[in-house]
Structure 1
Amino acid sequence: MNIPQSRSARREARREPSGGGSPSPRAATSASRAGRNLPAAIGVGVGLGIVIIGSLVVRKELMLVIIVAAIGVGVWELRRALGQVSIHVPLVPSLVGSVSMILSAYVGGGQALIVTLGLTCVGILLWRVADGVLDAVRDMAGGFFVAVYPSFLAGFAALMLAASDGRARILVFLIVTVLSDVGGYALGVLFGRHPMAPSVSPKKSWEGFAGSVLACVGGGAITVPLMLHGPWWGGALLGACVAVAATVGDLTESTVKRDLGIKDMSTILPGHGGVMDRLDSLVLVAPIAWALLAAVAPAR
Structure 2
Amino acid sequence: MSTDPDHLRHPTASTLVETAAGAVEPTPVHAKRRGAGRNLPAAIAVGLALGAVVLGALFLLPQAFPVLVAIVMVLAVLELTRALAHGGLRVPAVPLLVGVTGMAVSTAVFDVEGLLVSTAVAVCVLILWRVSESMGLTALRDVAGGVFCLAWVAFLGCFTLLLFGQDQGPLLVLLAVLGPVGNDIGGYVAGVLFGSHPMAPSVSPKKSWEGFAGSMVLGTAAVTSVGVLALDLPWWAGVILGVVLVIVSTCGDLSESLLKRDLGIKDMGHLLPGHGGVLDRVDSILLAAPTTYIMLEVLLP
TM-score in same-fold range (> 0.5): yes
Residue 127 of structure 1, CA deviation:
0.4
Q: What pairs with 1:132-143 in structure 2 (closer than 5 Å)?
A: 132-134=134-136, 135-143=138-146
8 Å contact from structure 2 (residues 177, 289) kept in 1 = no
8 Å contact from structure 2 (residues 271, 278) kept in 1 = yes
Q: What pairs with 1:169-208 in structure 2 (closer than 5 Å)?
A: 169-208=172-211
Task: Give per-residue Cα distances to partners, 1:122-170, cap 9 Å, x unaligned.
Answer: 1110000000114101100100100101110001111001112111111
Task: Give per-residue Cα distances to partners, 1:64-84, cap 9 Å, x unaligned.
Answer: 111110110000000011112
Which residue is equivalent to 1:72?
A: 74
Which of 207, 216, 221 is equivalent to 1:218? 221
Which of 277, 282, 295 is equivalent to 1:279? 282
Give the secondary structure class of the aligned counterpart of 1:228. coil
Q: Distance in 1 between matches of 2:187 and 2:123?
A: 36
Counterpart code for 1:47? A
Which residue is equivalent to 2:35?
A: 33
| TM-score normalised according to structure 2 size | 0.85
8 Å contact from structure 2 (residues 91, 142) kept in 1 = yes
Which residue is equivalent to 1:81?
A: 83
Residue 114 of structure 1, CA deviation:
1.7
Residue 32 of structure 1, CA deviation:
6.6
Q: Distance in 1 between matches of 2:204 and 2:34?
A: 16
Give the secondary structure class of the aligned counterpart of 2:176. helix
Q: What pairs with 1:155-166 in structure 2 (closer than 5 Å)?
A: 155-166=158-169
What runs of 5+ residues in structure 2 fail to find an aligned partner? 1-32
User: Pairwise CA RMSD of aligned residues?
Assistant: 1.5
**In the alignment, structure 1 residue 255 sits paired with structure 2 residue 266:** no
Which residue is equivalent to 2:109?
A: 107
Closer/same/farther in 2, CA of residues 47 and 250 from structure 1, 3 Å limit: same
Which residue is equivalent to 1:25?
A: none
8 Å contact from structure 1 (residues 71, 154) kept in 2 = yes
Q: Distance in 2 between matches of 1:202 and 1:297?
A: 38
Counterpart code for 1:209? F
Q: Percent identity at matched positions?
A: 45
8 Å contact from structure 1 (residues 200, 255) kept in 2 = yes
Q: Distance in 2 between matches of 1:154 and 1:217?
A: 22
Residue 210 of structure 1, CA deviation:
1.2
8 Å contact from structure 1 (residues 103, 158) kept in 2 = no
Residue 297 of structure 1, CA deviation:
5.2
Larger relative contact order, structure 1 or 2 (CA cutoff 8 Å, min sep 6): 1
8 Å contact from structure 1 (residues 229, 297) kept in 2 = no
What runs of 5+ residues in structure 1 fail to find an aligned partner? 1-30
Which residue is equivalent to 1:242?
A: 245
Q: Distance in 1 between matches of 2:233 and 2:67?
A: 28
